[in-house]
Chains A and B, each alone.
Chain A
Amino acid sequence: MKDYLALMFGMVFVQNFVLNQFLGICPFIGVSKKRDSAVGMGLAVIFVMGISCFVTMLVYKLVLLPLRLENYLDIISFILIIAALVQFVEIVMKKAAPDLYQALGIYLPLISTNCAVLGSTQMKLVDYSTLPLSEALLKNTALGAFGGIGFTLALYLMASIRERLEIAPVPPGLRGIPIAFLAAAGMALAFFGFNGIV
Protein backbone atom coordinates (compact mmCIF):
# COMPACT_ATOMS: atom_id res chain seq x y z
CA MET A 1 0.00 0.00 0.00
CA LYS A 2 2.79 2.35 0.95
CA ASP A 3 4.45 1.57 -2.35
CA TYR A 4 1.37 2.59 -4.29
CA LEU A 5 0.91 5.82 -2.33
CA ALA A 6 4.51 6.75 -3.06
CA LEU A 7 4.00 5.78 -6.69
CA MET A 8 0.87 7.93 -6.93
CA PHE A 9 2.48 10.98 -5.40
CA GLY A 10 5.60 10.45 -7.48
CA MET A 11 3.78 10.09 -10.79
CA VAL A 12 1.23 12.86 -10.24
CA PHE A 13 3.47 15.55 -8.76
CA VAL A 14 7.18 14.76 -8.66
CA GLN A 15 7.64 13.06 -12.00
CA ASN A 16 4.72 14.66 -13.79
CA PHE A 17 4.91 13.61 -17.43
CA VAL A 18 4.32 17.04 -18.86
CA LEU A 19 5.87 19.40 -16.36
CA ASN A 20 8.86 17.36 -15.24
CA GLN A 21 9.67 14.94 -18.04
CA PHE A 22 8.48 17.06 -20.99
CA LEU A 23 6.56 14.22 -22.57
CA GLY A 24 3.22 14.71 -24.26
CA ILE A 25 3.72 18.39 -24.97
CA CYS A 26 1.67 18.30 -28.18
CA PRO A 27 -1.68 17.45 -26.56
CA PHE A 28 -0.71 19.65 -23.62
CA ILE A 29 -0.61 22.69 -25.91
CA GLY A 30 -3.11 21.48 -28.50
CA VAL A 31 -6.04 20.37 -26.34
CA SER A 32 -5.70 22.83 -23.46
CA LYS A 33 -7.89 25.59 -24.84
CA LYS A 34 -11.08 24.51 -23.09
CA ARG A 35 -11.58 22.73 -19.80
CA ASP A 36 -14.21 20.37 -21.24
CA SER A 37 -11.90 18.99 -23.89
CA ALA A 38 -9.01 18.92 -21.40
CA VAL A 39 -11.03 16.61 -19.15
CA GLY A 40 -12.03 14.40 -22.09
CA MET A 41 -8.46 14.15 -23.28
CA GLY A 42 -7.20 13.52 -19.75
CA LEU A 43 -9.61 10.64 -19.18
CA ALA A 44 -8.60 9.11 -22.49
CA VAL A 45 -4.92 9.40 -21.54
CA ILE A 46 -5.47 7.78 -18.11
CA PHE A 47 -7.30 4.94 -19.79
CA VAL A 48 -4.81 4.36 -22.59
CA MET A 49 -1.75 4.65 -20.35
CA GLY A 50 -3.19 2.17 -17.89
CA ILE A 51 -4.01 -0.51 -20.42
CA SER A 52 -0.82 0.08 -22.45
CA CYS A 53 1.33 -0.38 -19.37
CA PHE A 54 -0.54 -3.58 -18.56
CA VAL A 55 -0.25 -5.11 -22.02
CA THR A 56 3.33 -4.05 -22.68
CA MET A 57 4.47 -5.54 -19.36
CA LEU A 58 2.67 -8.72 -20.26
CA VAL A 59 4.38 -8.91 -23.66
CA TYR A 60 7.73 -7.95 -22.16
CA LYS A 61 7.62 -10.67 -19.52
CA LEU A 62 6.09 -13.42 -21.63
CA VAL A 63 7.55 -12.81 -25.09
CA LEU A 64 10.55 -10.51 -25.13
CA LEU A 65 12.38 -11.72 -22.01
CA PRO A 66 12.20 -15.48 -22.79
CA LEU A 67 13.36 -14.83 -26.35
CA ARG A 68 16.09 -12.46 -25.09
CA LEU A 69 14.95 -9.65 -27.35
CA GLU A 70 14.41 -7.14 -24.55
CA ASN A 71 17.42 -4.98 -25.35
CA TYR A 72 16.47 -3.78 -28.79
CA LEU A 73 12.95 -4.85 -29.63
CA ASP A 74 11.05 -3.28 -26.74
CA ILE A 75 10.31 0.16 -28.17
CA ILE A 76 9.37 -0.92 -31.68
CA SER A 77 7.12 -3.73 -30.51
CA PHE A 78 5.48 -1.44 -27.93
CA ILE A 79 4.63 1.11 -30.62
CA LEU A 80 2.94 -1.65 -32.60
CA ILE A 81 1.11 -3.00 -29.56
CA ILE A 82 -0.11 0.38 -28.32
CA ALA A 83 -1.36 1.43 -31.74
CA ALA A 84 -3.23 -1.85 -32.24
CA LEU A 85 -4.56 -1.76 -28.69
CA VAL A 86 -5.99 1.73 -29.04
CA GLN A 87 -7.57 0.75 -32.32
CA PHE A 88 -9.07 -2.33 -30.71
CA VAL A 89 -10.42 -0.40 -27.73
CA GLU A 90 -11.94 2.17 -30.07
CA ILE A 91 -13.77 -0.49 -32.07
CA VAL A 92 -15.06 -2.24 -28.98
CA MET A 93 -16.05 0.99 -27.27
CA LYS A 94 -18.00 2.14 -30.31
CA LYS A 95 -20.13 -0.95 -30.07
CA ALA A 96 -20.31 -1.61 -26.34
CA ALA A 97 -20.36 1.90 -24.87
CA PRO A 98 -21.48 4.50 -27.42
CA ASP A 99 -21.83 7.19 -24.75
CA LEU A 100 -18.26 6.71 -23.59
CA TYR A 101 -17.19 6.70 -27.24
CA GLN A 102 -18.93 10.04 -27.76
CA ALA A 103 -16.97 11.48 -24.84
CA LEU A 104 -13.53 9.94 -25.50
CA GLY A 105 -13.75 8.78 -29.09
CA ILE A 106 -12.17 11.72 -30.84
CA TYR A 107 -9.26 11.82 -28.41
CA LEU A 108 -8.33 8.15 -28.58
CA PRO A 109 -6.60 8.14 -32.00
CA LEU A 110 -4.80 11.34 -31.05
CA ILE A 111 -2.88 9.66 -28.26
CA SER A 112 -2.35 6.23 -29.80
CA THR A 113 1.24 7.05 -30.72
CA ASN A 114 1.87 9.72 -28.14
CA CYS A 115 5.30 9.95 -26.54
CA ALA A 116 3.85 10.21 -23.03
CA VAL A 117 2.14 6.84 -23.46
CA LEU A 118 5.28 5.21 -24.80
CA GLY A 119 7.29 6.89 -22.05
CA SER A 120 5.02 5.52 -19.34
CA THR A 121 5.47 1.98 -20.63
CA GLN A 122 9.27 2.38 -20.65
CA MET A 123 9.68 4.17 -17.37
CA LYS A 124 9.99 1.35 -14.83
CA LEU A 125 9.88 -1.52 -17.29
CA VAL A 126 13.24 -3.04 -16.40
CA ASP A 127 12.87 -2.43 -12.65
CA TYR A 128 9.46 -4.06 -12.43
CA SER A 129 10.28 -6.97 -14.75
CA THR A 130 12.24 -8.65 -11.95
CA LEU A 131 9.06 -8.86 -9.82
CA PRO A 132 6.64 -11.80 -10.09
CA LEU A 133 4.25 -11.44 -13.02
CA SER A 134 1.06 -10.41 -11.17
CA GLU A 135 2.82 -7.80 -9.07
CA ALA A 136 4.72 -6.42 -12.04
CA LEU A 137 1.49 -6.09 -14.00
CA LEU A 138 -0.34 -4.38 -11.15
CA LYS A 139 2.47 -1.96 -10.42
CA ASN A 140 3.02 -1.05 -14.04
CA THR A 141 -0.70 -0.50 -14.62
CA ALA A 142 -0.86 1.69 -11.52
CA LEU A 143 2.13 3.63 -12.79
CA GLY A 144 0.43 4.23 -16.12
CA ALA A 145 -2.87 5.28 -14.58
CA PHE A 146 -1.21 7.63 -12.07
CA GLY A 147 0.92 9.07 -14.83
CA GLY A 148 -2.27 9.73 -16.74
CA ILE A 149 -3.77 11.43 -13.71
CA GLY A 150 -0.70 13.65 -13.48
CA PHE A 151 -1.06 14.47 -17.18
CA THR A 152 -4.75 15.29 -16.66
CA LEU A 153 -3.91 17.53 -13.74
CA ALA A 154 -1.38 19.48 -15.78
CA LEU A 155 -3.75 19.67 -18.75
CA TYR A 156 -6.68 20.86 -16.64
CA LEU A 157 -4.61 23.51 -14.86
CA MET A 158 -3.30 24.69 -18.21
CA ALA A 159 -6.79 24.85 -19.72
CA SER A 160 -8.02 26.88 -16.74
CA ILE A 161 -5.13 29.30 -17.15
CA ARG A 162 -5.66 29.61 -20.88
CA GLU A 163 -9.36 30.31 -20.48
CA ARG A 164 -8.40 33.25 -18.29
CA LEU A 165 -5.69 34.33 -20.73
CA GLU A 166 -8.31 34.55 -23.47
CA ILE A 167 -9.81 37.63 -21.84
CA ALA A 168 -6.62 39.05 -20.36
CA PRO A 169 -4.86 42.04 -21.94
CA VAL A 170 -1.95 40.11 -23.47
CA PRO A 171 0.45 42.00 -25.78
CA PRO A 172 -0.41 41.20 -29.42
CA GLY A 173 2.87 39.43 -30.16
CA LEU A 174 2.39 37.00 -27.27
CA ARG A 175 -1.23 36.05 -27.85
CA GLY A 176 -2.10 32.38 -28.24
CA ILE A 177 0.69 29.80 -28.10
CA PRO A 178 3.57 32.03 -26.85
CA ILE A 179 1.79 33.11 -23.67
CA ALA A 180 0.69 29.50 -23.16
CA PHE A 181 4.34 28.42 -23.21
CA LEU A 182 5.22 31.15 -20.69
CA ALA A 183 2.43 29.95 -18.41
CA ALA A 184 3.61 26.35 -18.84
CA ALA A 185 7.13 27.38 -17.88
CA GLY A 186 5.83 28.97 -14.68
CA MET A 187 3.82 25.85 -13.87
CA ALA A 188 6.82 23.60 -14.51
CA LEU A 189 8.94 25.72 -12.15
CA ALA A 190 6.26 25.43 -9.48
CA PHE A 191 6.14 21.64 -9.89
CA PHE A 192 9.93 21.57 -9.69
CA GLY A 193 9.45 22.30 -5.98
CA PHE A 194 8.20 18.75 -5.47
CA ASN A 195 11.58 17.37 -6.48
CA GLY A 196 13.23 15.05 -3.98
CA ILE A 197 10.08 14.43 -1.92
CA VAL A 198 9.64 10.82 -3.01
Chain B
Amino acid sequence: MWALLAMTAMGAVLAFILAVASKKFAVETNPKVELVLEALPGANCGGCGYAGCAAYAEAVALKNADPTLCAPGGAEVGLAIARILGVTVDVGKARFVALCGCQKKDVKTVAVYSGIQSCRGASLFGLGGGWLDCRYGCLGYGDCARACPFGAITMGPDRRPVVDEARCAGCRKCSVACSRNLMTASPITRHIHVRCHNRDRGAMANRMCAHACIACKKCEKVCPADAIHAPNYLAEIDYGKCIGCGKCVAVCPHQVLVNLHPAREPEPGATAGNAAPESPEPVGVGAAASPASRQGDGEP
Protein backbone atom coordinates (compact mmCIF):
# COMPACT_ATOMS: atom_id res chain seq x y z
CA MET B 1 0.00 0.00 0.00
CA TRP B 2 2.68 2.46 1.06
CA ALA B 3 4.80 1.27 -1.80
CA LEU B 4 2.08 2.09 -4.30
CA LEU B 5 1.48 5.49 -2.77
CA ALA B 6 5.15 6.31 -2.53
CA MET B 7 5.84 5.39 -6.15
CA THR B 8 2.81 7.30 -7.40
CA ALA B 9 3.74 10.34 -5.36
CA MET B 10 7.34 10.18 -6.53
CA GLY B 11 6.25 9.83 -10.14
CA ALA B 12 3.82 12.72 -9.81
CA VAL B 13 6.41 15.00 -8.19
CA LEU B 14 9.03 14.18 -10.81
CA ALA B 15 6.55 14.68 -13.63
CA PHE B 16 5.57 18.04 -12.18
CA ILE B 17 9.19 19.13 -11.86
CA LEU B 18 9.94 18.09 -15.43
CA ALA B 19 6.84 19.83 -16.75
CA VAL B 20 7.75 23.07 -14.97
CA ALA B 21 11.35 22.81 -16.11
CA SER B 22 10.46 22.26 -19.74
CA LYS B 23 8.26 25.36 -19.68
CA LYS B 24 10.57 27.53 -17.67
CA PHE B 25 13.81 26.55 -19.34
CA ALA B 26 12.42 26.21 -22.85
CA VAL B 27 14.96 27.25 -25.44
CA GLU B 28 13.48 29.02 -28.40
CA THR B 29 14.74 27.44 -31.56
CA ASN B 30 13.96 28.49 -35.06
CA PRO B 31 11.65 25.81 -36.49
CA LYS B 32 13.33 26.25 -39.86
CA VAL B 33 16.54 24.72 -38.50
CA GLU B 34 14.68 21.52 -37.65
CA LEU B 35 12.93 21.45 -41.02
CA VAL B 36 16.17 21.96 -42.93
CA LEU B 37 17.87 19.29 -40.84
CA GLU B 38 15.10 16.87 -41.70
CA ALA B 39 15.53 17.62 -45.40
CA LEU B 40 19.27 16.90 -45.28
CA PRO B 41 20.48 13.33 -45.80
CA GLY B 42 22.10 13.13 -42.35
CA ALA B 43 25.34 11.58 -43.57
CA ASN B 44 27.40 14.14 -41.60
CA CYS B 45 30.06 13.95 -44.30
CA GLY B 46 31.15 17.57 -43.97
CA GLY B 47 31.32 18.07 -47.73
CA CYS B 48 29.51 21.39 -47.37
CA GLY B 49 32.35 22.76 -45.26
CA TYR B 50 30.40 22.73 -41.99
CA ALA B 51 30.89 20.42 -39.01
CA GLY B 52 27.95 18.19 -39.92
CA CYS B 53 24.35 18.25 -41.06
CA ALA B 54 23.16 20.01 -37.89
CA ALA B 55 25.75 22.78 -38.22
CA TYR B 56 24.94 23.21 -41.90
CA ALA B 57 21.19 23.35 -41.22
CA GLU B 58 21.80 26.10 -38.69
CA ALA B 59 24.01 28.02 -41.09
CA VAL B 60 21.48 27.74 -43.91
CA ALA B 61 18.46 28.65 -41.82
CA LEU B 62 19.98 31.44 -39.73
CA LYS B 63 23.11 32.74 -41.45
CA ASN B 64 22.05 32.69 -45.10
CA ALA B 65 24.51 30.02 -46.20
CA ASP B 66 24.19 28.66 -49.72
CA PRO B 67 21.40 26.00 -49.71
CA THR B 68 22.97 24.06 -52.60
CA LEU B 69 26.16 23.00 -50.83
CA CYS B 70 24.93 19.54 -49.84
CA ALA B 71 26.78 17.22 -52.20
CA PRO B 72 25.10 13.92 -51.20
CA GLY B 73 21.63 15.45 -51.42
CA GLY B 74 22.25 17.10 -54.76
CA ALA B 75 19.65 19.17 -56.56
CA GLU B 76 16.75 17.46 -54.80
CA VAL B 77 17.81 18.53 -51.31
CA GLY B 78 18.80 21.98 -52.57
CA LEU B 79 15.27 22.46 -53.88
CA ALA B 80 13.72 21.10 -50.69
CA ILE B 81 15.73 23.52 -48.54
CA ALA B 82 14.87 26.39 -50.85
CA ARG B 83 11.20 25.51 -50.45
CA ILE B 84 11.54 25.56 -46.65
CA LEU B 85 13.30 28.91 -46.65
CA GLY B 86 11.23 30.43 -49.42
CA VAL B 87 14.19 31.40 -51.58
CA THR B 88 15.12 30.75 -55.17
CA VAL B 89 18.20 28.69 -55.89
CA ASP B 90 20.10 27.69 -58.98
CA VAL B 91 20.45 23.91 -58.87
CA GLY B 92 21.74 23.61 -62.41
CA LYS B 93 25.11 22.45 -61.14
CA ALA B 94 26.25 19.02 -62.20
CA ARG B 95 26.97 16.38 -59.58
CA PHE B 96 30.56 16.13 -58.38
CA VAL B 97 32.34 12.79 -58.32
CA ALA B 98 35.78 11.80 -57.10
CA LEU B 99 38.59 10.69 -59.35
CA CYS B 100 42.06 9.46 -58.46
CA GLY B 101 44.81 11.40 -60.21
CA CYS B 102 47.07 8.38 -60.63
CA GLN B 103 46.57 5.28 -62.73
CA LYS B 104 49.14 3.27 -60.79
CA LYS B 105 50.14 0.99 -63.61
CA ASP B 106 53.70 -0.30 -64.00
CA VAL B 107 55.17 1.95 -61.32
CA LYS B 108 58.62 0.92 -60.24
CA THR B 109 59.08 0.11 -56.58
CA VAL B 110 62.26 0.84 -54.67
CA ALA B 111 61.64 -1.12 -51.50
CA VAL B 112 59.36 -3.56 -49.72
CA TYR B 113 57.21 -1.75 -47.17
CA SER B 114 55.86 -3.61 -44.16
CA GLY B 115 55.09 -0.81 -41.72
CA ILE B 116 51.73 0.64 -40.74
CA GLN B 117 49.26 -0.41 -43.41
CA SER B 118 48.06 3.04 -44.37
CA CYS B 119 49.05 5.55 -47.04
CA ARG B 120 49.87 8.12 -44.41
CA GLY B 121 52.24 5.69 -42.73
CA ALA B 122 53.80 4.60 -46.00
CA SER B 123 54.34 8.16 -47.19
CA LEU B 124 56.62 8.81 -44.20
CA PHE B 125 58.88 6.02 -45.33
CA GLY B 126 62.03 6.53 -47.41
CA LEU B 127 62.51 10.30 -47.60
CA GLY B 128 58.84 10.88 -48.19
CA GLY B 129 58.78 8.75 -51.30
CA GLY B 130 57.15 5.70 -49.82
CA TRP B 131 58.05 2.41 -51.39
CA LEU B 132 57.27 3.78 -54.84
CA ASP B 133 59.86 5.32 -57.07
CA CYS B 134 57.38 8.07 -57.90
CA ARG B 135 56.95 10.73 -55.22
CA TYR B 136 53.52 11.65 -56.59
CA GLY B 137 51.92 8.28 -57.13
CA CYS B 138 49.16 6.40 -55.33
CA LEU B 139 50.49 4.31 -52.45
CA GLY B 140 47.48 2.01 -52.52
CA TYR B 141 46.75 1.39 -48.84
CA GLY B 142 43.21 2.68 -49.18
CA ASP B 143 43.11 5.74 -46.91
CA CYS B 144 40.61 7.18 -49.39
CA ALA B 145 38.41 4.09 -49.23
CA ARG B 146 38.40 4.15 -45.44
CA ALA B 147 37.57 7.85 -45.38
CA CYS B 148 34.58 7.51 -47.71
CA PRO B 149 31.36 7.73 -45.67
CA PHE B 150 29.31 6.32 -48.54
CA GLY B 151 31.29 3.19 -49.34
CA ALA B 152 31.84 4.49 -52.86
CA ILE B 153 35.57 3.72 -53.02
CA THR B 154 36.87 0.17 -53.08
CA MET B 155 40.45 -0.93 -53.46
CA GLY B 156 40.90 -3.03 -56.58
CA PRO B 157 43.01 -6.20 -56.72
CA ASP B 158 46.01 -4.16 -57.91
CA ARG B 159 45.52 -1.79 -54.92
CA ARG B 160 44.04 0.98 -56.97
CA PRO B 161 41.03 2.95 -55.71
CA VAL B 162 37.94 2.31 -57.80
CA VAL B 163 35.25 4.97 -57.46
CA ASP B 164 31.66 3.86 -57.77
CA GLU B 165 30.31 7.03 -59.34
CA ALA B 166 26.71 6.15 -58.61
CA ARG B 167 27.47 6.10 -54.88
CA CYS B 168 29.97 8.97 -54.76
CA ALA B 169 28.48 12.12 -53.30
CA GLY B 170 31.41 14.40 -54.05
CA CYS B 171 32.02 15.21 -50.40
CA ARG B 172 35.83 15.35 -50.82
CA LYS B 173 36.61 13.35 -47.69
CA CYS B 174 38.91 11.19 -49.81
CA SER B 175 40.88 14.18 -51.07
CA VAL B 176 41.49 15.22 -47.47
CA ALA B 177 42.56 11.69 -46.56
CA CYS B 178 44.90 11.14 -49.51
CA SER B 179 48.45 11.88 -48.39
CA ARG B 180 49.41 12.56 -52.02
CA ASN B 181 46.48 14.88 -52.81
CA LEU B 182 45.48 12.69 -55.72
CA MET B 183 41.74 12.49 -55.17
CA THR B 184 39.80 15.36 -56.67
CA ALA B 185 36.10 15.90 -57.09
CA SER B 186 34.97 17.35 -60.38
CA PRO B 187 31.62 17.67 -62.16
CA ILE B 188 30.48 14.41 -63.70
CA THR B 189 30.04 16.23 -67.00
CA ARG B 190 33.81 16.68 -67.28
CA HIS B 191 35.15 13.71 -69.15
CA ILE B 192 38.75 14.51 -70.10
CA HIS B 193 41.18 14.16 -67.20
CA VAL B 194 44.92 14.15 -66.61
CA ARG B 195 45.52 11.08 -64.51
CA CYS B 196 49.06 11.79 -63.38
CA HIS B 197 50.49 14.17 -60.81
CA ASN B 198 54.18 13.66 -61.56
CA ARG B 199 55.96 17.00 -61.84
CA ASP B 200 59.43 15.57 -62.43
CA ARG B 201 61.20 16.29 -65.69
CA GLY B 202 60.14 14.09 -68.58
CA ALA B 203 63.20 11.85 -68.61
CA MET B 204 62.98 11.13 -64.89
CA ALA B 205 59.24 10.55 -64.98
CA ASN B 206 59.69 8.21 -67.92
CA ARG B 207 62.18 6.11 -65.98
CA MET B 208 59.81 5.67 -63.02
CA CYS B 209 56.54 4.88 -64.66
CA ALA B 210 55.23 3.89 -68.05
CA HIS B 211 52.13 5.98 -67.44
CA ALA B 212 53.67 9.23 -66.25
CA CYS B 213 53.21 12.59 -67.92
CA ILE B 214 56.52 13.44 -69.52
CA ALA B 215 55.31 16.81 -70.82
CA CYS B 216 55.90 15.90 -74.48
CA LYS B 217 53.32 18.56 -75.40
CA LYS B 218 51.70 16.44 -78.08
CA CYS B 219 48.32 17.20 -76.51
CA GLU B 220 49.10 20.91 -76.58
CA LYS B 221 49.74 20.80 -80.32
CA VAL B 222 46.68 18.76 -81.21
CA CYS B 223 44.18 20.68 -79.06
CA PRO B 224 41.83 22.72 -81.29
CA ALA B 225 40.61 24.84 -78.38
CA ASP B 226 44.00 25.75 -76.85
CA ALA B 227 42.73 24.22 -73.61
CA ILE B 228 45.60 21.94 -72.60
CA HIS B 229 49.12 22.99 -71.67
CA ALA B 230 52.05 21.41 -69.88
CA PRO B 231 53.82 24.26 -68.11
CA ASN B 232 55.48 22.53 -65.15
CA TYR B 233 56.26 19.14 -66.69
CA LEU B 234 52.64 18.17 -66.20
CA ALA B 235 49.66 18.57 -68.51
CA GLU B 236 46.87 20.78 -67.19
CA ILE B 237 43.45 21.23 -68.72
CA ASP B 238 41.66 24.57 -68.74
CA TYR B 239 38.09 23.32 -68.40
CA GLY B 240 36.75 26.71 -69.34
CA LYS B 241 38.09 26.15 -72.85
CA CYS B 242 37.96 22.36 -73.16
CA ILE B 243 35.34 21.19 -75.63
CA GLY B 244 35.71 17.52 -74.77
CA CYS B 245 36.71 16.42 -78.28
CA GLY B 246 39.13 13.81 -76.94
CA LYS B 247 41.88 14.44 -79.52
CA CYS B 248 44.51 14.83 -76.78
CA VAL B 249 43.54 11.44 -75.35
CA ALA B 250 44.20 9.81 -78.70
CA VAL B 251 47.72 11.23 -79.11
CA CYS B 252 48.99 10.85 -75.54
CA PRO B 253 51.88 8.36 -75.77
CA HIS B 254 51.69 7.31 -72.12
CA GLN B 255 47.90 7.11 -71.86
CA VAL B 256 48.00 9.72 -69.11
CA LEU B 257 44.98 11.50 -70.49
CA VAL B 258 41.71 9.65 -70.22
CA ASN B 259 38.29 10.18 -71.68
CA LEU B 260 35.68 8.89 -69.25
CA HIS B 261 32.76 9.61 -71.55
CA PRO B 262 32.30 6.09 -72.98
CA ALA B 263 32.40 4.51 -69.50
CA ARG B 264 29.87 6.86 -68.00
CA GLU B 265 26.21 6.37 -68.63
CA PRO B 266 24.29 9.51 -69.48
CA GLU B 267 23.18 10.90 -66.14
CA PRO B 268 19.64 12.14 -65.63
CA GLY B 269 21.02 14.71 -63.20
CA ALA B 270 23.64 15.94 -65.64
CA THR B 271 21.19 16.42 -68.49
CA ALA B 272 18.69 18.03 -66.15
CA GLY B 273 21.38 20.52 -65.23
CA ASN B 274 21.92 21.44 -68.86
CA ALA B 275 18.22 21.59 -69.55
CA ALA B 276 17.49 23.77 -66.54
CA PRO B 277 17.34 27.12 -68.39
CA GLU B 278 14.70 25.74 -70.75
CA SER B 279 12.35 24.66 -67.98
CA PRO B 280 13.10 26.77 -64.95
CA GLU B 281 11.42 25.42 -61.88
CA PRO B 282 9.39 28.04 -60.05
CA VAL B 283 10.99 27.54 -56.68
CA GLY B 284 10.22 29.91 -53.89
CA VAL B 285 7.69 32.00 -55.74
CA GLY B 286 4.64 29.83 -55.26
CA ALA B 287 6.11 27.67 -52.52
CA ALA B 288 7.21 30.53 -50.29
CA ALA B 289 3.86 30.68 -48.56
CA SER B 290 3.83 27.05 -47.46
CA PRO B 291 6.52 27.11 -44.73
CA ALA B 292 5.04 30.22 -43.22
CA SER B 293 1.62 28.64 -42.97
CA ARG B 294 3.18 25.46 -41.57
CA GLN B 295 4.77 27.49 -38.80
CA GLY B 296 1.49 29.19 -38.13
CA ASP B 297 -0.20 25.82 -37.66
CA GLY B 298 2.46 24.63 -35.26
CA GLU B 299 2.03 27.61 -32.96
CA PRO B 300 -1.14 27.23 -30.87
Contact = CB atoms under 8 A, between A and B. Distances in A.
Nearest to B11: A80
Contacts of B22: 91
A87 B11 CA distance: 14
A92 interface: yes
Contacts of A96: 25
B121 A167 contact: yes
B3 A84 contact: no
Contacts of B21: 88, 91-92
B17 interface: yes
Contacts of A72: 3
B2 A69 contact: yes
Nearest to B114: A169
A77 interface: yes
B166 interface: no
A94 B25 contact: yes
Interface in A71-103: 72-73, 76-77, 80-81, 84, 87-88, 91-92, 94-96, 98
B203 interface: no
Interface string A165-191: 001110000000000000000000000
A98 to B, nearest CB: 8
A84 B14 CA distance: 6
Nearest to A168: B116
A64 interface: yes
B7 A95 contact: no
A175 to B, nearest CB: 12
Interface string A53-73: 000000100011001110011
A143 B118 CA distance: 43
Interface residues of A, number: 24
B146 to A, nearest CB: 9
A69 B18 contact: no
A85 to B, nearest CB: 8
Given A84-B17, A91-B18, A67 B6 contact: yes
A69 to B, nearest CB: 5
B110 to A, nearest CB: 22
B263 interface: no
B117 A64 contact: no
B10 interface: yes
Given A63-B10, A67-B2, A96-B25, A169 B17 contact: no
Interface string B15-33: 1011001100111000000
Contacts of A81: 10, 14
B25 A84 contact: no
Please give me the 6 A-B residue pairs with the lowest Cβ-Cβ distance, nearest first. A95-B25, A84-B14, A91-B21, A167-B116, A67-B2, A91-B25
24 contacts: A59-B10, A63-B6, A64-B6, A67-B6, A68-B2, A69-B2, A69-B6, A72-B3, A73-B3, A77-B6, A80-B7, A81-B14, A84-B15, A88-B17, A88-B21, A91-B18, A91-B22, A94-B27, A95-B25, A95-B26, A95-B27, A96-B25, A167-B118, A167-B121
